[in-house]
Chain A
């Protein structure tokens, strides 16, 4: 046997070291993420998964079942509406507030106060947000009272209990809860835009809105795209806020993919179909994530 030289040992050590450092996190990810994901994928192709020991291969039966279920499609559209409306509103409100907080026209003192006020929704957990909005939007709550006093509505509206308003109401609550992430990120981005770009634009003859569209937004675009994609992925998976405000009702009016899957699993105990639904959500999320990673690499 030939003795290894110090040079060979050093090279081997350099090769192995990264895997050694990564191994604890890889083990945790493997046990807590990859294994359950693999199990769920397996269940989605099994007959009576989990519930009975003698399971058999079911092929795409459960996928056909959920794709043939009207409630699944309603959930998918509700998810898309909820997500797209939330992301667009988060971005618009976040940008508006960030621009306001970055403006020299507001005194530094007022800016500090507003910064704290605007960031408040971010401090609350989804459960607290659900409780706050259930109280505010209660038929006898503050919102109805103010709107009636202002003459905007004639009678009390059951925001979370009416088929017409429930989806808009939960979307509104989610918008309120989520804009601070955009605001903080865009504010950091705004502060990083060199001042002389605006001065050059001033000399070139740009007006305020022209500076916004030709300088500010293009400069913020990498942040806007990154955060929008992340927000899209996160919002699509929202569960507690909807579960605690409407529970997916009334009559599936606010059913989204996460509540639909939950109900299949834990109300109807149809774990195999729930697994098929979860795998569908996983595939959509993977698609978005790949898009996000590609964007990050392009940057």
Chain B
């Protein structure tokens, strides 16, 4: 087990494309850090650089206090779980898990003892003589974990290990990996583009975009206090609704409605006063928009909206709305335009709500929960 430190790590390809720019991260001993971001943000490249599978153009990388920039992958004391699992198809589960020990010249008895221990932990004992082709997705995933565990590494590196599993199995394996990591206490860096995995598995989450680290924080802090509109839009599903408005004497003025900000909002964010009379970006999480007919007792203001469609999920209704306001792009390249542009906001209503498509309703907004961003830099206003 060890601390992993990335110091000003850069990766530039031959065509001068900068995949990673000045990445600084300190991952504590035993910590579970999630690297998350949209496609092409550099998260997998960063992980592969830590593994030694990609050269580091500049910067320092310390694993357990040793600078490992010039070391081969095998000498870095890490183990990696690949997105495709990368199991050796011609080897049995036993041979796959014990391969690194075989290469290290360990005796068969020693290998057998260690592989058996790991197989027991991962419930693979019955499958030790099977080939990967005869295993299910979840079993393959566990073999890949076993192959990483057998090395007793200082750090685990995991590159989207659940992306090939079906939704149900993914939820199960998510919990298994998180619990296994806590049980083993090994420093783990886990790459994913799935922000649900990011929010549920890690101690901290590092959000990347375009090769640049945006924010590293606990899942709760990322959700509650995103540093910019990108993090605000990327973290959370459905995404935060972002709109343009003019701030005038504590009132947000959008084309079709106005929202009076409570004094607490203004006092908690002194920088907001500097935006008086100027354009501003404000964001509302879907769960902070309510069905006004059910919002009794809550401190809210109502704005008119048209219901475009309703997704009834049982525990909640995901309601796609059209508000008379100008939406703002968070900068997430993977974001899908809301229903082909018909709607521009998403709300989560209680299942008791009986709103239906093509109706006009009043949506209640909890203004104390709004987020504010600079319209130019997209940085959070606090």
Contacts and interface: CB of A to CB of B under 8 A. Distances in A.
A214 B88 contact: yes
Interface string B69-95: 000111000111011101111100000
A196 B83 CA distance: 9
Interface in A163-219: 194, 196-197, 199-206, 210, 214-215, 218-219
A215 B80 CA distance: 18
Contact of A203 (B51, B87, B104): B51
A203 B103 contact: no
A18 B79 CA distance: 55
A202 B52 CA distance: 9
A221 interface: yes
A196 B104 contact: no
B52 A194 contact: no
Q: Which of A199, A200, A219 has the most CB of B within 10 A?
A: A200
Given A204-B74, A205-B100, A214-B99, A197 B86 contact: yes
A205 B104 contact: yes
Interface residues of A, number: 17
Question: In which size bucket is the chain B interface?
Answer: 20 to 34
Q: Is the interface of B mostly helix, strand, loop or mixed?
A: loop
B88 A197 contact: yes
The CB with the most chain A CB atoms within 10 A, among B79, B87, B88, B151, is that of B88
Contacts of B73: 199, 202-203
B53 interface: yes
Contacts of B79: 203
B82 A199 contact: yes
Contact of B86 (A194, A210, A214, A219): A194
B82 A210 contact: no
A219 B103 contact: no
Given A196-B82, A210-B103, A214-B99, A203 B88 contact: no
A80 to B, nearest CB: 30
B99 A203 contact: no
Given A203-B80, A206-B103, A215 B53 contact: no
A218 B87 CA distance: 13
A196 B47 CA distance: 14
Contacts of A221: 90
Contacts of B53: 199, 202-203
A299 to B, nearest CB: 12
B74 A202 contact: yes
A274 B49 CA distance: 68
A162 B350 CA distance: 97
A207 to B, nearest CB: 8
Interface in A54-110: none
A171 to B, nearest CB: 32
A215 B89 CA distance: 9
Contacts of B89: 219
Nearest to A215: B88
Given A204-B74, A205-B74, A199 B86 contact: yes
Nearest to A222: B90
A193 to B, nearest CB: 10
B90 A204 contact: no
Nearest to A199: B53
A196 B53 CA distance: 10
| Top 10 A-B pairs, shortest CB-CB distance | A205-B74, A204-B100, A200-B86, A196-B86, A218-B90, A202-B73, A205-B103, A203-B73, A196-B82, A203-B80
Interface of A: 194, 196-197, 199-206, 210, 214-215, 218-219, 221
14 contacts: A197-B88, A200-B147, A202-B72, A202-B74, A203-B73, A203-B78, A203-B79, A204-B103, A204-B151, A205-B103, A205-B104, A206-B103, A214-B88, A214-B99
Given A199-B80, A205-B104, 17 more contacts: A194-B86, A196-B82, A196-B84, A199-B73, A200-B82, A200-B87, A200-B88, A203-B53, A203-B73, A203-B74, A203-B78, A203-B100, A204-B99, A204-B100, A205-B100, A214-B88, A218-B90
